[in-house]
Structure 1
Amino acid sequence: MLNQGWTYTDRLDSLPPGLTVLDYYAQRYRHSTRQMWRDRILQGQIYLNDKPTRPETRLQRGQYLTYHRPPWDEPEVPLRFDRLGEDEDILLVGKPSGLPVLPGAGFLQHTLLFQLQQEYPDIAPIHRLGRGTSGIMVWAKSPQGRSQLNQQLRHQQMLKVYRAWVGDWSHGDRLTINQRIGTLPHPTLGTVYGATAEGRWAESRVAVLSRSSEGVLLQVTISTGRPHQIRIHLAAVGHPLLGDPLYSPGGGLNLTVNPQTQTYPVPGDCGYFLHSFRLGFHHPTSGNWQCWDCPPPDRLR
């Protein structure tokens, strides 16, 4: 079924001289070709300061562009999720692998946020999980819940424990990883997160739970929550998640074109096993410590 479409707004705070409307979209949003952006402008889908515009129109600082994307068919994803706990301030949800949390990359209504907003219009995620990651998330239902939980997250006061599956492991039974995480160039998205010395500090504590001929089961506890942190950190020490299409040993990017789709790997691609297993925090109203577990899929038990 078609969704309801969406309007994307860009405010032009800084611009190189002489940039046109077509230049802006073709250079900034490289998931579409220059010809595709030209067609959208000529079809009246893109406005400049709320008025139809032309591809060759030159832009100025302080203006704003709006792309009125018409309704589209979204990729199929698992829309069922588990409710693990709830009160007037918080909602604990068990997310399936494959379900995006927030809109983006062709997903709008096939997201956990949209599904929850049908019942809770003001609900807000406190932290995020990648599309391919399953497990527990906490959402705020009240302003008090949102404020208090966000503060705990910023001050690294939440307990976040994950289960991860790698092909092998050469670092002993325990390892602390402190690789910095920042942006790396990507041919279609512009930039994505990866291991880089110029990035922000991040820490992951790894413990081996079991080993077999099929792989190694790890428990990973994180105090920071950089985007794709566990995927990047395990790749950085030479052991990316088994089946991870994007991150390669060393924490860099696999930029091999998929022969079936003719696209580069992106962070939202699935295929790996990573599960948010345990989440602990102080309740935003009572202040009591709460710790919740979400049963992992069979391979991560």
Structure 2
Amino acid sequence: MGQAPDSFDPDHYEADVRREENVVEVTVPSTETSGPRIDKYLVRFYPEASRTKIQRAIKKGHLKVNGADVKKSYPVEPGDEIVFRLIRKPPMQAEPEAIPVDVVYEDDDLLVVNKPAGMVVHPAPGHRSGTLVHALLHHVDGGEVSADDERTEVSEEDVGLSMVNALPEAPDHPVVRPGIVHRLDKGTSGLLVVAKRDRAHRPLAEQFKAHTVDRRYRAIVWGHFSPPNGTIEGAIGRDPHHRQRMAVVPDDEGKWARTHYETVEAHAHTSVAEFKLETGRTHQIRVHARAQGHPLLGDPKYDGQRIRYGTQGGAREDFFADLFDILPHPALHAYRLGFDHPTTGERLHFDAAPPPPWRRVLRVLRQGEGEGAAGD
């Protein structure tokens, strides 16, 4: 059996074929005598889909051969009448949602927002609603954005936010991110600049690329850095032992990263540190801090939700369990953002205090790490 062509061509197979959207109806020709498996045979008519995806649709009952259900291993025979529907997820899209958003600054070109912890920045698989982009589209009275818009011309005037890099780069990367110049992790709160106009987006992105943007974070970490102030360097790449997270890896296996830190205050077995990024890698602060033995308090992905220093078990375990209920994500807040305005050239600086749960946990830690209750 030959390889499928780059585009669907029913005449290539001399079969009686009708395809509409994701449904294909095929009458197998008499020339098909090799008895190919049905899953392999259907790949011919869906060159854009993987065999695994076709098998998944078969398993869910979206295949009939001569009116009956068959398994993926069924051998195709001449004269078979096949009706198959390929399962397709709806296109990734974002539409305005009336979600409150804390706008720190706004003009015709950009916004600076204070993102709450727990909010995803833009739609992606698993997060099709409730993101910052959804909230921003409502705030600017904008329009809907869909991954399918790559086939049409959609402008910033239609959407209300910059469309630079807003649509998918490839079919297997189905994100929509109008206006998004940089991101914060879902569990990280703090300041983000968002471009409303294409003319603002590009120079802002250049500042991030040139590392001239002043980004500073406050975090509560386990233990005490030694020395208390310093710089952490190390390439960041996919953790070879835990594919869902990042790690410090050999230079040739990741992207170089540098993080400056300064201890702001110390408690018995935790401390508050300020971080300044020189690069912007995925999970950079969380990964670099963990590599030094000081994961962020409450970080479920990087070992921050277990007692790392001091007495284990008993009342102290209950004490920190209460804190993790108050702050069920990394104790990380992007409190400062500074950049040059992309059209006026004015240097802008913004500060935002950590959110109430973050401050509440800090107050409790200042009182003692296990001697009191985790209340106000």
Amino acid across the alignment from 1:117: L
User: Relative to structure 1, is the Cα distance of residues 286 and 238 closer, same or farther in structure 2, using a 3 angstrom cutoff?
Assistant: same
* 2:301 equivalent in structure 1: 246
Counterpart residue type for residue 290 of structure 1: L
Change in 2 beyond 3 A, CA 1:93/1:233 = same
Contact 1:273 1:300 in 2 (8 A): no
Residue aligned with 1:97, SS: coil
1:276 aligns with 2:346: no
Letter in 1 for 2:336: R
Q: Structure 1 residues 70, 283: CA separation in 2 closer, same or farther (over 3 Å shift)?
A: closer
Query: Aligned partners of 1:293 and 1:148: how far apart in 2?
Result: 22
Pick closer, same or farther for the CA change 1:23–1:221 going to 2, 3 Å: same
**CA deviation string 1:22-51 (max 9, x = no partner):** 65459xxxxxxx8xx34686448xxxxxxx
Which 5+ residue runs of structure 2 have no aligned equivalent? Answer: 1-39, 44-48, 64-70, 75-85, 92-97, 143-158, 163-178, 305-326, 364-376
Contact kept? 1:167, 1:215, Cα under 8 Å = yes
Q: Contact conserved, 1:183 with 1:192, CA < 8 A, in 2?
A: yes
C-alpha distance in 2, partners of 1:191/1:167?
22
2:373 paired residue number: none
Counterpart in the other structure of 1:168: 223
Partner of 1:112: 132
Alignment of 1:154-193 (within 5 A): 154-185=209-240, 192-193=245-246
1:84 paired with 2:98, answer: no
Q: Are 2:219 and 1:199 equivalent residues in the alignment? A: no
Whether the 8 Å CA contact 1:158–1:223 is kept in 2: the answer is no
Q: 1:22 to 1:286 in 2, by over 3 A?
A: closer
Higher share of residues assigned helix:
2
- Which structure is richer in relative contact order (CA contacts within 8 A, separation 6 or more)? 1
Q: Percent identity?
A: 33
Question: Residue 217 of structure 2 aligns to a residue in which SS?
Answer: strand
The answer for unaligned runs of 5 or more in structure 1 is 1-17, 27-33, 45-53, 58-65, 72-77, 250-268
* Distance in 1, Cα, partners of 2:293 & 2:133: 34
Matched-pair contact (CA < 8 Å) for 2:245–2:301 = no
Return the letter of the residue paired with 2:270: G
Partners of 1:160 and 1:186 in 2: CA distance: 30
Hey, what's the Cα distance between the residues in 2 that align with 1:88 and 1:163? 30
State the alpha-carbon separation in 2 of the partners of residues 286 and 184 from structure 1. Answer: 42
Cα-to-partner distance string for 1:224-255 (whole Å, 9 max, x where unaligned): 11111111110111111112111249xxxxxx
CA distance in 2, matches of 1:142, 1:300: 39
**Structure 1 counterpart of 2:287:** 232
Q: Cα gap change, 1:194/1:270 in structure 2, threshold over 3 Å: closer, same or farther?
A: farther
Structure 2 CA distance for aligned equivalents of residues 195 and 224 of structure 1: 14
Matches within 5 A, 1:45-124: 68-69=88-89, 79-118=99-138, 119=140, 120=142, 121=159, 122-123=161-162, 124=179
Query: Does the C-alpha gap of structure 1 residues 98 and 286 become closer, same or farther in structure 2, counting only changes over 3 Å?
Result: same
- Alpha-carbon distance in 2 for matches of 1:56, 1:91: 55
Q: Which amino acid aligns with 1:129?
A: L
CA distance in 2, matches of 1:217, 1:23: 51
Q: CA deviation at 1:180?
A: 0.7
Alpha carbons 1:80, 1:96 under 8 Å: kept: no
Note the C-alpha offset of 1:130.
Answer: 0.3
